[in-house]
Structure 1
């Protein structure tokens, strides 16, 4: 299983200047290579290498490995763009957004992340320093820091490339780690159903609800502040809005980590698997009022699901995905489904058998039942290959 660990670099001013110049050079080279791809349709690495490799080395003074990574990064960007266009994420062909995305070459930000392999970067874990290639020569003794647990994972399991990243005035290295998965529980005692929502971010079939009311109030305050800053539109207001957006993302990520950790721990303790809803396309399917649209679009439910999956794989807990259709309208006792079974957001009352329960807990029971059925039929989930844990 592949995980990603982010460590913070602590360069001196001279080292930071060299790292910044390196990022700028690599991204300028990648942007130029992207224009070559756009003109000559050379979207494969070997093909683009024939047109761009020598020019990149001569014009920007990049080393052999850095030039190779700039070319590969460009080809990967076009592959991602093509997949997004095919999936319709840029609208219909001929629309303004579609033309803006596919009608011009890809452009990389001057401080976009740059990949490093083991020839360009070496780690000294005991000294907590790295030796890293730059356009000004190889920098030795660049200090790094991080949480003790993350550094232990990094020292024991790091394998593959690492990305150099500059964000909000700070330098980071994002390292890929290959961790052995725990022996999976092939005979779970049942499944813990997890219902995701807006009022309760997550509700389990054990009756535990991670209430989102306080969080939603804070998010509403954040939205009002963001709107006020956008309306003001001064330089200082935009700078403050950018800082505030980072805080919102970090708060949501921290909450998702805590929720996923509790769910996986409970499933592991009781010898059960975890059943999750398939939420693909929920934003397109859901018909919501305007305030509800803001809530469902702003909370990272996919991130919460990915956190549950990777933590479950580390613990050997099986995870299955089930169809989310009518889980909120179906009775978990007699399985009669009707819209009238939901007299309110929080209450479920079956019109056939008279069963009454909290709506989210009833839905989580339905998800648990469907999870067991999926498991018996032999269909299992596929965990994402790469998940950020830092």
Structure 2
């Protein structure tokens, strides 16, 4: 399996920082030139595009041989991703304007967009915690970096490319880590997880991870942004810039904590994790005007991805079940009706009289459906020989 580790670079001088920033600008300007050629001449494969633009990128943007190759590959990968999204329907009829714009003009890259580096133009010294990196001003050696102890251990298994990223004037390296996947165990049961906005996650054990604190934090930042944007002064803009991404970092940290707790519980009890397949829910669900911000800031996909990769590292199986009627079906007698869901928090079965917390009832239904999905053959189910 592949995960990433992030380290922060600490350039020793303003000259080094300017060289890194200039490198990103040059590489992304070169990427835009290559993208225009790829779009105009329909050269989306790396070999044919490289034959067309390689020498021009080197001469016009002062790139070395390997940075030019990495830049061309970045462009081809972007077009391949776009083609895959269109084919998969991620840019379908419901988003026709975005699809038409994507197909009618070349892909463009921001001047501070990430630039991939390989081992020929980036060297790591983990003992001294420094890197040697190519720039348009020459190779800069001995740039210190800082990271957590866990990330440093992961870097020992680093494979493939690392991306140079500039964020709020700071420089980071995002390294790809290759780890062996542990064998997925046969589950003895399922930990059903109901994802929501009011309660971020609820398990069929009755454990509820409430979202009240996170929702209040999001609302506080929305109100603060509105106030500062209305004010419009230079000081207000400085505060807005300082607060950028703070809400997203807090939400991601909350999702990491919840995902770790769920995976630890499943691993300790030898169970798998069952989640709802919520893909496309924002297109299917309508919300009142005052609830739209909460719906569209709901990071269910991020939480799901965190659960999946943490479960993969622990050898815990994960399955996705059909979410239809999980909130309306009784987990005791299977009676399904929309009136069973009395309100957001309460479920009362009109047939057998079962009274449960609505999200707890939903998580029990998810756990019940998981076994059928597993028997049909889940993606990460162990083979019969492995068992």
TM range (shorter): over 0.9
Alpha-carbon offset, residue 237 of structure 1 = 3.5
* Stretch of structure 1 that moved more, 7-16 or 170-179: 7-16
Alignment RMSD, CA only? 1.9
Q: Which stretch of structure 1 is more off in the superposition, 50-59 or 34-43?
A: 34-43
CA contact (8 A) 1:130 1:142 kept: yes
2:301 and 2:380 mapped to 1: Cα distance? 14
Cα deviation, residue 92, structure 1? 4.6
- TM-superposed CA distance for 1:183, in Å, is 2.4
Shift of 1:176: 0.3
Q: CA deviation at 1:104?
A: 2.5
TM-score with structure 2 setting the length: 0.93
Deviation of the 1:284 alpha carbon: 1.0
Corresponding position of 1:373? 372
> What CA deviation, in whole Å up to 9, does each residue of 1:283-305 have, x standing for no partner?
11112222232212102110100
Paired residue secondary structure (1:177): strand
State the 1:259 CA deviation.
Answer: 0.2
Which secondary structure state, in structure 2, belongs to the residue aligned with residue 184 of structure 1?
coil
Which piece of structure 1 moves more, 97-106 or 305-314?
97-106
Q: Tell me how far 1:215 sits from its aligned partner.
A: 1.7
Long gaps (5+) in structure 1: 383-390
Cα distance in 1 between the residues matched to 2:376 and 2:36? 50
- Shift in CA distance, 278/62, structure 1 to aligned 2, threshold 3 Å: same
Residue correspondence of structure 1 range 12-161 to structure 2 within 5 A: 12-13=12-13, 14-86=15-87, 92=93, 97-155=98-156, 157-161=157-161
Using the TM superposition, give the Cα deviation of residue 42 of structure 1 relative to its aligned residue in structure 2, in angstroms: 1.2
Q: Is the 8 A contact 1:321 1:381 kept in 2?
A: no
In structure 2, what is the Cα distance between the partners aligned to 1:147 and 1:93? 42
Map 1:333-348 onto structure 2 (within 5 A): 333-348=332-347
Shift of 1:356: 0.6
Question: Across the two proteins, how many residue pairs are aligned to each other?
Answer: 380
State the Cα distance separating 1:244 from its structure 2 match.
2.2
Partner of 1:246: 245
SS in 2 for 1:164: strand
Query: Structure 2 unaligned runs (5+)?
Result: 382-387
CA contact (8 A) 2:348 2:356 kept: yes
What are the Cα deviations for residues 99-152 of structure 1, in whole angstroms up to 9, with x where unaligned?
444333222111111100011111111111111111222111111110011111
1:218-242 C-alpha deviation (Å, 9 max, x unpaired): 2112112222233344454344334
Q: 1:307-326, aligned counterparts within 5 Å?
A: 307-326=306-325
Q: Counterpart of 2:377 in 1: which secondary structure?
A: coil
CA 1:93–1:209: 2 relative to 1, 3 Å: closer
Counterpart CA distance in 1 for 2:297 and 2:71 is: 33
Deviation sequence 1:159-203 (CA, Å, 0-9, x none): 1100011101111000000011222212x1100000001110000
Provide, for residues 11-56 of structure 1, a one-character-per-residue CA deviation record: whole Å limited to 9, x for no partner. Answer: 1122212211211111111111111122212111111112100101
Residues 1:234 and 1:103: Cα distance change in structure 2 (over 3 Å): farther
Deviation at 1:377, TM superposition (A): 2.6
Hey, what's the Cα distance between the residues in 2 that align with 1:284 and 1:152? 41
Does the CA contact (< 8 Å) of 2:7 and 2:174 recur in 1? yes
Residues 321 and 380 in structure 1, CA contact (< 8 A), matched pair in contact too: no
**TM-score normalised by length of structure 1:** 0.93
Q: Deviations over 1:334-369 (max 9, x none)?
A: 111100101111011101011111000010000011
Q: Which residue of 2 aligns with 1:201?
A: 200
Q: Distance in 2 between the 1:99 and 1:244 partners?
A: 34
What pairs up with 1:198-347 in 2 under 5 angstroms?
198-347=197-346
Counterpart contact for 1:252–1:299, Cα < 8 Å: no
Quick one: higher RCO (CA 8 Å, sep 6+), 1 or 2?
1
1:163 counterpart residue number: 163
C-alpha separation in 2, matches of 1:135 and 1:96: 38
CA–CA distance in 2 between the matches of 1:191 and 1:235? 54
Name the stretch that deviates more: 81-90 or 64-73: 81-90
Shift of 1:217: 1.6
Cα deviation, residue 327, structure 1: 0.3
